[in-house]
Amino acid sequence: MHTIERPARGPSPPRPPTAGWFHGFGPSTDTGTAPLRLVCVPYAGGTPSVYRNWAAHLGDGVDVVPVLLPGRGLRLREAPYIAVGPLVAALVDAFVEHELAHDYALFGHSMGALLAYEVACELRDRGLPEPAHLFVSGSKAPHLYGDRRDHTLSDADLRQLVRDLGGLGADDTIGSSYLERRLPVLRADLTACETYRWTPRRPLSCPMTAFSATRDPIAPPHEMEAWRVHTRGSLLRHHMEGDHFFLNGPARPHLLREIRAELARRSDGSGHPGTAERDRLPTAKREPSWIY
């Protein structure tokens, strides 16, 4: 019998850094004392800047945890995912490592809503708690995906699509400059979304809130209403003024007000915030949607 000699092994290489998934959020030992965490997933091409200053307006009982996906910001050197399944599996691995799968809610806009839903399902399938609440914004229900091919557009047409959807903000020149650097990751994200096909499964048990906008062709009201079949809990739907990127525009105070009220009910049963708390909500300023 021949003995196979294996090369000597030095110290094990470090695992890929999962801390990078949660922008500005340390390991579980540094999670702080907030009773409820709102994990926020960005839209295609988006970054944690989407949720800048949210923590200051959702109350002391909520810890906002933005997700930083590969291919942007401090993870610029990492290749973005082009399929939802592997992306969700990796994100859930990081979720588990950081012990985030308790006392948490999920918010996602557009692609982020789809990812948040899949994360909730994957956590449940691993025997972990579902979110206390799932907020979905600017995204059709998962079973309706598969009717767009935006990831195949030319660069020029993709730029025009983002412009038409309101993603460049008030200053088209600044927005275009940021978008130009984001085109590869945007195309990768769109590939993941548009090749996604929903797998039939039992509905979630958690309550949901769905946000749609008056001028959003990506997620019209009836396609937001279709989220109802994906929960055995309640679904509350809000229809707001704005385009696809309404969460960056004048509707943002309304959006944050509704999220805050719902989380207050979930965390301490206090119901809607009082007048003083409402007055602290921000006055929205339209910014390019591609700023990190």
- SS3 call for 240: strand
pTM higher than the cut 0.85 = no
Please give the Cα distance from 288 to 284 (Å, whole number): 13
- What is the C-alpha separation between 21 and 6, in angstroms, rounded? 35
Position 25 scores a pLDDT of 61
β pairing state of 104-109 and 134-137: parallel
Residue-level pLDDT at 290: 40
Full DSSP string of 23-72: TT---GGG--S-SEEEEEE--TT--GGGGTT-GGGS-TTEEEEEB--TTS
| Mutual angle of helices 84-97 and 111-125, in 10-degree steps | 60
User: Measured between alpha carbons, how far is 57 from 249 in angstroms, rounded to an integer?
Assistant: 16
Among 113, 103, 24, smallest CA distance to 65 is for 24
Task: Using 70 as the pLDDT threshold, list the residues of the chain that sit under it.
Answer: 1-19, 23-34, 169-175, 177, 267-292
Res 152: pLDDT? 81
Please calculate the CA angle 166-171-176 and round it to the nearest 5 degrees. 70
Q: What is the pLDDT of residue 28?
A: 43
- Burial of 60 from C-beta contacts in 10 A (0-12 / 13-18 / 19+): exposed
pLDDT value of residue 24: 62
pLDDT digits (tens, 9 = 90+) for 171-214: 565 567 677 888 999 999 999 999 999 999 999 999 999 999 99
Residues of the chain above pLDDT 70, percent: 77
234 is an active site residue: no
Q: Exactly one of 110, 137, 139, 212 is catalytic; name it.
A: 110
pLDDT on residue 288: 41
